[in-house]
């Protein structure tokens, strides 16, 4: 059974930066796509950024140019570097994994639905 554990959330002022980390343990898919969702209170989760085993990425329009997703296979870790944070970025950020790739997607997630989720980490951006 795989586990995803996020860290790095916190409170920052608008224009600030945070780096989220997702530690991965256990095996998941032979070919996988991983990334980040976020959820604002009362709303559905939305894809933010994803990266597959080939390093291909997908970003939601609202984070393009500000957020960068990356991974370190040797450390079994996924990252989300978030720059120029704005109050509307406030929410709970979840690490997730799915089989497949980012091919054919351009909306911040992978071609398939997520099958593994972390517990989430809170990001709060004040104006």
Span 34-86, pLDDT tens digits: 999 999 988 999 999 999 999 999 999 999 999 999 999 898 999 999 999 99
What's the chain's average pLDDT? 95
Q: Could you give the 3-state DSSP secondary structure of residue 56?
A: coil
Residues 6+ apart with CB under 8 A from 115: 28, 29, 97, 98, 99
Mean pLDDT on 107-114: 92
């Amino acid at each position: 059974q795989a586990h995803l554990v996020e860290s790095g959330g916190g409170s920052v002022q608008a224009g600030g930066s945070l780096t989220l980390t997702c530690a991965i343990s256990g095996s998941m898919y032979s070919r996988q796509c991983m990334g980040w969702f976020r959820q604002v209170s009362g709303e559905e989760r939305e894809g933010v950024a994803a990266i597959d085993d080939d390093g291909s990425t997908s970003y939601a329009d609202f984070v393009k140019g500000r957020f960068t997703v990356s991974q370190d296979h040797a450390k079994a870790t996924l990252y989300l570097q978030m720059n120029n944070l704005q109050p509307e970025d406030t929410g709970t950020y979840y690490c997730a994994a799915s089989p497949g790739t980012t091919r054919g997607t351009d909306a911040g997630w992978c071609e398939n639905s997520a099958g593994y989720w972390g517990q989430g980490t809170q990001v709060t951006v004040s104006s």
